[in-house]
């Protein structure tokens, strides 16, 4: 392979650990994202403009009751995904890392997901799973972006590749079991990821992952979005329905439009 040394290093790290954590590449794009979300949240919660919201994302539980969480999250989710430039901003957070790990002709999930987990809230849990278990293509990766420092139960967990291989060999025994039974069997092997504000996590969604009840004293905000190579196989989530090409190159566009000449 004709990869540069830094590309080989990043590739090996991703294959070995199942993820990489890096500093956000485009700080201006990140600022636009955080400003937009904070403005939307202030609007929905009727917060005063002169109110100190510097630590709003960590302290959202001070302004938002658990019973109102889903309605609030859906408002923010729908608003950001209706913003014409939001997905472009999100892509710019990890552009060069995606080029190394996926390629330069990408399909991007049509909508960016949003998660808000208040302290002690059990309504926003994502039980242990791998996306491929529900029909996703194994060629996808996830860019996960927190709006706060994430640590311990305020973060997410991931089962490393070596442990996943071991689980795969005995997976049949869990067919009639619950996701909680599965988690109990791997809880000592999962890695809880420490990700700071201003960093992104890119991880292999073929590996079991999820979250638990947030036992920390702060709220967790995070976004995630899937990326894959345009010409790699699609699972149940098809191009045009769930994914959209975002970086098609000239040769591919020409080839896709090419029609053979009729000579008879």
> In the 8-state DSSP scheme, what is residue 235?
-
Q: Which helix (H) or strand (E) segment is 182 a member of?
A: helix 179-186
Domains of the chain: 5-255 (2.60.120.620)
Res 50 pLDDT > 60: no
pLDDT tens string 193-204: 999 999 999 999
Q: What is the 3-state secondary structure (H, E, C) of 143-173?
A: EEEECCCECHHHCCEECCHHHHHHHHHCHHH
Largest Cα span, the chain: 75
Confidence of residue 82 (pLDDT cuts 50, 70, 90): very high
Phi, psi of 174 (to 5 degrees): -100, 5
Which of 245, 263, 249, 248 is closest to 109 using CA atoms? 245
pLDDT tens string 128-181: 999 999 999 999 999 999 999 999 999 999 999 999 999 999 988 888 889 999
Residue 174 and residue 191: Cα distance in Å, rounded? Answer: 21
How many Cβ atoms are within 10 Å of 252's Cβ, its own excluded? Answer: 14
Q: Is there a contact between 37 and 76 (Cβ–Cβ < 8 Å)?
A: yes
Q: For 203-226, what is the mean pLDDT?
A: 97
Whose tokens are 């939307």? That residue is 40
């Amino acid at each position: 392979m004709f990869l540069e040394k830094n590309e080989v290093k990043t590739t090996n790290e991703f294959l070995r650990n199942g993820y990489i954590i890096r500093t956000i590449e485009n700080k201006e794009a990140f600022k636009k994202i955080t400003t937009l979300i904070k403005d939307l949240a202030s609007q929905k919660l009727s917060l005063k403009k002169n109110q100190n919201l510097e630590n709003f994302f960590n302290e959202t539980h001070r302004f938002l009751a658990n019973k109102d969480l889903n309605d609030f999250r859906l408002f923010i989710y729908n608003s950001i995904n209706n913003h014409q430039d939001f997905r472009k901003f999100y892509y710019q957070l990890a552009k060069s890392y995606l080029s190394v790990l996926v390629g330069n002709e990408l399909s991007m999930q049509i909508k960016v997901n949003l998660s808000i987990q208040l302290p002690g809230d059990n309504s926003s849990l994502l039980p242990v799973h791998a996306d491929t278990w529900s029909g996703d293509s194994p060629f996808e990766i996830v860019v996960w972006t927190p709006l706060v420092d994430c640590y311990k139960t305020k973060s997410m967990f991931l089962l490393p590749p070596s442990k996943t291989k071991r689980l795969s060999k005995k997976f049949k025994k869990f067919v009639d079991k619950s996701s909680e039974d599965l988690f109990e069997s791997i809880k000592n092997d999962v890695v809880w990821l420490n990700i700071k504000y201003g960093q992104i996590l890119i991880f292999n969604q073929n590996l079991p992952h999820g979250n638990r009840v947030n036992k920390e004293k702060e709220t967790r905000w995070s976004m995630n979005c899937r990326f894959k190579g345009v010409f790699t196989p699609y699972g149940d989530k098809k191009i045009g329905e769930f994914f959209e090409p975002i970086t098609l190159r000239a040769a591919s566009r020409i080839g896709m439009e090419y029609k053979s000449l009729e000579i008879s």
